[in-house]
Chains A and B, each alone.
Chain A
Amino acid sequence: MNNTLVINIVRFLFLILLQALVLNNINLFGYINPYAYIIFIILFPFTTNQVNFLLISFLLGLSIDFFLNSGGVHASASLTVAYLRPTILSYSFGVSYEHQNIKFSRMGLKERLLYVILIVFIHHLVLFSLEIFNLQYILMILKKTLFSSIFSLIVIFIVLTLFSRKN
């Protein structure tokens, strides 16, 4: 248990620094940035108290907002996706996920893909809707969500493969 705590604290800090100092400066084609810090939300232990999880996700998003001067858009997006995670989990892994002590690394590839794609897409949709904050620009919101999601997914899978523990 203690080990999990340490791993999650390190992951939290590492992902914030990675996002703020590296990924926010990529700007592919001028406007596409990957938001890979939500790996924290994807990998966070499934069995933890939901209230704690909400608070931590909120803090994670807010830390990113501090670097980008973006108010609370990352906080809102992270919080929403954390709130919806139980629903996404049961949708992608089946209802029984709660009773078994499942781990992300032990699930089938198809389920994992579906789970990560859902989380990334919902997060990005909330993020860009709040960032642009204007329904006139709905096409721009969808375009940014789509392209950024694809880029984020690629980066997330690269990071997950690099740091996966073989056991």
Chain B
Amino acid sequence: MQQIIDFLIRYRNAVVYLLLLSLALFFTIQAHSYHQSKVISSTNSLTGGLLSWSNNLGDYFDLKDQNELLLNENKRLRNQLSASKEKIKRITVTDSIPVDTTYRYRSAQVIANNYSLRDNYITLDKGNENGFSKDMGIISSKGIVGVVEDASERYSRVISILNSNLEINVGLKKSSHYGSMSWNGKDPNTIQLTDINRLAPVAKGDTIITAGKSLIFPKGIPVGTIKDYTLDQSQTYFLIEIRLFNDMTNLDQVYAIEHLKKEEIRSLEEPESKLNQQPIDE
């Protein structure tokens, strides 16, 4: 016993170092796995408050650009609205069941945005009390941004599309070929898409949209355009470089998409997933 104590005292630096290092590595490994509640997170009230305070200071500088963005979006939405009103006029509704919506949108502001790391996160100024919760899709007026991974009372953390842990089902706008998109960590303006069959009509400049196969994003959220493409080693799938519509380095106002029928769809899928031994969530 005495020897053990002597040993610990003599090598106390190394012992303390190894203990703390294993704790830090534990946090690191936890951070590299998706869908796990994390200890180290910017959504706590101290860091969240500081980030939101510093964001408030800088907010006035790009008010003009943000106004422009919102105006453009309003213009586009008004055009869509008048077009769909025209359509509705021509259809006589015979069904007595009211048409209800599947998605609800909420707005939030980005208070911290990383894009220089391998795995990037975004912090928003809204949390549980504003209806934000895990697995909501986040978009900006131009396109896809990320998925809410964790929400505290007043802040939420979004896993950015610029993160190796996030894969999103997207595809070509002009045909129904879908693949999975994930970032290779290099350029924050381009993102990589794999698993598109070589028979798909791929051309430079084509638009990529979300596939709508998950409960997170509805179909048709714009992602980007095809910048370049090659065939993979097996010569059966395309490796596509997408130029994002969104400037991920300059995000301010974003929208969260809540799927209102999520529980209902999950309850339908659950028995099947138990059969396949594949849990849908977590």
Q: Is A163 an interface residue (CB 8 A)?
A: no
Interface residues of A in 17-49 (CB under 8 A from B): 17, 20-21, 24, 27, 30-33
Looking at the complex, which one of B16, B30, B46, B117 makes contact with A131 (CB distance below 8 Å)? B117
The interface residues of chain A lying within 8 Å CB-to-CB of B123 are 69
> What's the minimum C-beta distance from A133 to chain B, rounded to whole angstroms?
6
> What's the minimum C-beta distance from A106 to chain B, rounded to whole angstroms?
26
The interface residues of chain A lying within 8 Å CB-to-CB of B23 are 58, 72, 75
The reply to whether B13 and A76 form a contact with Cβ atoms under 8 Å apart is: no
The reply to whether A80 and B21 form a contact with Cβ atoms under 8 Å apart is: yes
The reply to whether B121 and A69 form a contact with Cβ atoms under 8 Å apart is: yes
User: Considering only CB atoms, which chain B residue lies closest to A21 in the complex?
Assistant: B54
Q: Is B185 an interface residue (CB 8 A)?
A: yes
The reply to whether A69 and B24 form a contact with Cβ atoms under 8 Å apart is: no
> What's the minimum C-beta distance from B194 to chain A, rounded to whole angstroms?
16
Interface residues of B in 106-155 (CB under 8 A from A): 112, 114-119, 121, 123
Contact with B along A96-115 (1 / 0, CB 8 A): 00000000000000000000
Q: Is A68 an interface residue (CB 8 A)?
A: yes
Looking at the complex, which one of B40, B42, B112 makes contact with A62 (CB distance below 8 Å)? B40
The interface residues of chain A lying within 8 Å CB-to-CB of B50 are 17, 20-21, 67
Q: Is A51 an interface residue (CB 8 A)?
A: yes
> What's the minimum C-beta distance from A65 to chain B, rounded to whole angstroms?
5
Q: Is B31 an interface residue (CB 8 A)?
A: yes
> What's the minimum C-beta distance from B169 to chain A, rounded to whole angstroms?
23
Complex Cα–Cα for A50 and B25 (A): 21
Binding site for B on A (CB under 8 A): 17, 20-21, 24, 27, 30-33, 50-51, 54-55, 58, 61-62, 65-73, 75-76, 79-80, 83, 130-134, 137, 140
Binding site for A on B (CB under 8 A): 12-14, 16-17, 20-21, 23-32, 38, 40-42, 44, 46-47, 50-51, 54, 112, 114-119, 121, 123, 157, 185-188, 249
Complex Cα–Cα for A1 and B123 (A): 40
- Beyond A30-B115, A69-B40, whether A130 also contacts B17 by CB under 8 A is no
The reply to whether B44 and A66 form a contact with Cβ atoms under 8 Å apart is: yes
Q: A interface, by DSSP: helix, strand, loop or mixed? A: helix
The interface residues of chain A lying within 8 Å CB-to-CB of B44 are 66
The interface residues of chain A lying within 8 Å CB-to-CB of B24 are 58, 61-62, 72-73, 75-76, 79
User: Considering only CB atoms, which chain A residue lies closest to B38 in the complex?
Assistant: A71
The reply to whether A72 and B25 form a contact with Cβ atoms under 8 Å apart is: yes
The interface residues of chain B lying within 8 Å CB-to-CB of A20 are 47, 50-51
Interface hub of A24, A62, A72 (most chain B Cβ within 10 A): A72
The interface residues of chain A lying within 8 Å CB-to-CB of B115 are 27, 30-31
User: Considering only CB atoms, which chain A residue lies closest to B123 in the complex?
Assistant: A69
The interface residues of chain A lying within 8 Å CB-to-CB of B249 are 27, 30
- Beyond A50-B13, A71-B27, A137-B185, whether A55 also contacts B20 by CB under 8 A is yes
Beyond A79-B24, A83-B13, 17 additional contacts (C-beta under 8 Å) are A17-B50, A21-B50, A27-B115, A31-B115, A54-B13, A65-B27, A65-B40, A67-B112, A69-B121, A69-B157, A70-B119, A72-B28, A75-B23, A80-B17, A131-B119, A132-B118, A137-B185
Complex Cα–Cα for A32 and B66 (A): 26
User: Considering only CB atoms, which chain B residue lies closest to A61 in the complex?
Assistant: B24
The reply to whether A58 and B20 form a contact with Cβ atoms under 8 Å apart is: yes
> What's the minimum C-beta distance from B68 to chain A, rounded to whole angstroms?
22
